[in-house]
Amino acid sequence: MRPRDIGPNAEQWEHDVTTLSADATAWTGNDVRFLTFAEEEITAETIDAEPALAAIARDGVTLFGEPGYLHSKGVG
């Protein structure tokens, strides 16, 4: 999730996401691609409309941040 104070085309954000994706691919041997949303885009309606977010809300494991974040947005 991209914080509210970082724009979608912020150079540092894009660099960090691209670098992390390449590093995670190297670490795991799997093709890693990130699906990013702005903080304000995460709503119950968005989660219902996006199958990937619905699956994450249902089956995801929190690695960092608030556990149950998607549930706090009115899911499940």
Express each pLDDT in 8-39 by its tens digit: 789 999 999 999 999 999 999 999 998 888 88
Shared-domain flag, residues 7 and 31 = yes
Q: What is the tally of structural domains in the chain?
A: 2
The predicted model scores a pTM of 0.65
Q: How far apart are CA 9 and CA 47, in angstroms?
A: 23
pLDDT value at position 76?
52
* Domain assignment of residue 51, given as a range: 42-76
- Same domain for 51 and 30? no
Q: Return the C-alpha torsion angle 1, 58, 48, 35, nearest 10.
A: 30
